[in-house]
Structures are given as structure tokens and as C-alpha cells.
Copies of this chain bind each other. A is one copy, B any other.
């Protein structure tokens, strides 16, 4: 492992938690070079909704490469991109009567957020953006200003201006903001946009209520601001429907997608933008070399195919119950434990950083990959592939429950 310690940057992090070298992976399993297998409740930080090396995607991608399909195309037209857009339109947009345009950019979530912020500022002529406490939106300077965590913010080295943070999912606080926006002497002006995750993933699996999201949209629209929903971690089926907000009754102006939409782990990012906003762009104003990732288009079509019928989403509903059922006793047993989530993103909040660390470590020793999130990392985040076999899901849950019991019993 010496090349890593000798030559990789000190900034490396996950490899410190999982100190092995992974070699193979399939669906919900990763295998290290010693042949040890791990059930994967981490799924590449929410990218691998359809499992490692999804067979349909493998086949499609290999076929595409073998046929010399165009791999890299910036924003030129390709047949693979056309197919992706057509399927996205017919499977996702049309059934929802969404008129949104599709904007591709550099294929990381932070690039999508940067593009959304630029457009919202352009459309409104305003510069201030409202983000929320515990929100996570990326690492580049524009997106980082929206990210709440002081550890990440502290690395900026410059002032993170033009964004203010408000409490997440507190409905009375929206009334306070409304009052301030209406008062020309409040010192607070309506923003260009509100950027929000419906479920804060990195922030500790915090779920916004339908009422709050609707009130937020109303506040935005009453004051000429855009509503940007960052679906990067919780979209693409994770919550039991393609969009996490499908059952919430909102209609965002811009939706940021990345992570899972590329299918098998190759990158892709896309914003869905209402046409009345999109028209404010001039050609090429926000570019990005890797905005035409055709392997991601090809695998992404296979991902979209999962949404043609209800089979996978039914399974997500079923698995959601399995997961909650397995974890519920922990919340009953330990008063400090809270369980939060929607669909197959579940946070097991053990209210203590050291306990969470111990649980992650014991899980790893017992063959389960799981990561923590939330302030100080006190929340175990369960985001297995949606395609995980039920046996793996149950086995993983058993490992997690046992590890949690061990950590929390010891601390009593």
C-alpha cells in the first residue's frame, strides 16, 4: 500500500476508514485484493443506485466501446446523447408534464450547482442566494458558499460571500424571512434563489416536510426568487420515485442532478431548467470539457429503463420497510437514537461521533461498508444500491444492528 502513503495527497480520507485495496465489485458487494467481500451500504456515496457493474449497463457500455461509439463529445450531438435525451424526456419529463430543458455541464455535482447559481443570478439580476444549515452542495467556490459545514468552508481561503444560510425545514422561520423581504428597511433583500435538498444527505439525513417545501416555493415565487432543488444525492430513484419531491407538490425552477444518473459510476451532471429561465443563457457561457460523457449516456439509459415500470420502485418500497423494521428496535432501546429518512436513504443517528466511528469500524471488520454523516459524523447513513439482493440487505442490517448494540451497550 506504500504508493498511497508515499505519493497520494494527505487529503485522502475514505481510504483511512477502509484501509484495504479494493479490486472487484458486483451489485452490492465489493471485494478487496485479499478476496474479502463487503456488503456495500455506501454505494459510492449514493452514485451506485443500480449496483456495481450492473449487468445491463456493462453489456451496453462494452458494446458501445467495441463499436467505436464516440466517447467524448463536449456539447456536440451524438447518437448516444440523443438517445439519452429522448428516453429522459419520455420516461421522466413527459409523464410529469415537465417542460424543463436539459443542460449538461462538467460532470460533477458541484458543476451543476455552479451553473444553477449563475443562471438564477442572471435571471433575477440579484446576487444573494439562500442556502440552508447542514446543506451540502459541493466544493468549488460558488457551490462551497452554499455548503454549510465549517470544515469544508474553512478550506476556501477567501470569504464565502453572496450566500446566507437559514435554518432548514423550520416553517416559522420562513415567515420571518417573508417579513424581512417585505420590509425595505430590514437590511435583507429577497435572494436570486433558494437552493435546497429535500433530504439533506451529508447533513445527517434530515427530511424536509411537504408543508415546508411548499411554503419555501411560495416564498421564493412571491419574492421573485428561483427555487433550486439539489437532487444530486437523493434523486434518481433513491427515495422510491425518480425525484425525491415527486410526492411533495412542488415544481422547482432548476433541478440539479448528478451521481446516479450516469448509471454505473461514470460521471454525469445535468440541470433541468424551466424554459423561461433557460433562455437567459447565451451559447457557451458555462462550458466544461467533459460535458459530453457518452458512456454515461449509454449506461444512463439503462438506469432510466428501470423507471419504465414500477418494479424497482416497488422493491425500494419493500426494502424501505425492511430497513426501518430492522432499525426500529434501536430507537426503542436507546433514547438517544433517532431514525430518519425517506425510501432507501436512512440515517441512524446515534448522537455521538465516537460511537458512530466505532460502529463504522466494527461494520467494516464484519464485512459491511457504511459511512457516517451529519455534524461531526454522528449519523450512520444507509444508502445501499436499490438493486441489492434482499439477503445482502438483511445481512448488512444485521451487522449494523449488532455493531450499534455493541457500541451503545458499552456506553451505558
Contact = CB atoms under 8 A, between A and B. Distances in A.
Contact of A47 (B33, B258, B289): B289
A12 interface: yes
Nearest to A155: B285
A143 interface: yes
A102 interface: yes
A203 B187 CA distance: 11
B148 A186 contact: yes
Interface in A143-177: 143, 145, 147-159, 161-165, 167, 173, 176
A317 interface: no
A46 B281 CA distance: 25
Given A8-B102, A21-B82, A65-B61, A133 B183 contact: yes
Nearest to A48: B72
Interface in A173-193: 173, 176, 179-180, 183-189, 192
Interface string A365-393: 00000000011100000000000000000
Interface in A1-49: 1, 3-4, 7-16, 18-26, 30, 33, 44-48
Contact of A184 (B58, B61, B184, B375): B375
Contact of A9 (B22, B101, B140, B180): B101
Contact of A101 (B8, B103, B117): B8
A246 B45 CA distance: 38
A78 interface: yes
Contacts of A184: 149-151, 375-376
Interface in A60-81: 61-62, 65-79
Contact of A89 (B7, B79, B89, B135): B7
Given A25-B70, A161-B158, A184-B151, A283 B11 contact: yes
Contact of A7 (B101, B167, B289): B101
A360 to B, nearest CB: 14
Contacts of A76: 14-15, 18, 22
A221 interface: no
A69 to B, nearest CB: 6
Q: How many copies does the complex hold?
A: 4
A101 B4 CA distance: 10
A376 to B, nearest CB: 7
Contact of A157 (B46, B121, B132, B376): B121
A289 B101 CA distance: 25
**Most central of A135, A152, A173, A284 by chain B CB within 10 Å:** A284
Contact of A71 (B25, B108, B173): B25
Bin the interface of chain A by size.
35 or more
A71 B62 CA distance: 13
B24 A70 contact: yes
A295 to B, nearest CB: 7
B159 A188 contact: no
Contacts of A25: 68-71
Given A45-B74, A151-B284, 4 more contacts: A10-B279, A11-B103, A52-B71, A185-B203
Interface of A: 1, 3-4, 7-16, 18-26, 30, 33, 44-48, 52-53, 58, 61-62, 65-79, 82, 85-86, 89, 93, 101-111, 114, 117-118, 120-122, 127, 131-135, 139-143, 145, 147-159, 161-165, 167, 173, 176, 179-180, 183-189, 192, 203-204, 258-259, 264-267, 271, 273, 278-279, 281-290, 293, 295, 374-376
29 contacts: A3-B82, A12-B75, A12-B283, A21-B77, A22-B73, A23-B70, A45-B289, A47-B289, A53-B69, A62-B62, A62-B65, A106-B106, A107-B290, A122-B157, A127-B157, A132-B187, A133-B185, A139-B287, A139-B288, A142-B142, A149-B184, A150-B184, A150-B185, A151-B184, A152-B285, A158-B159, A165-B186, A167-B186, A185-B374
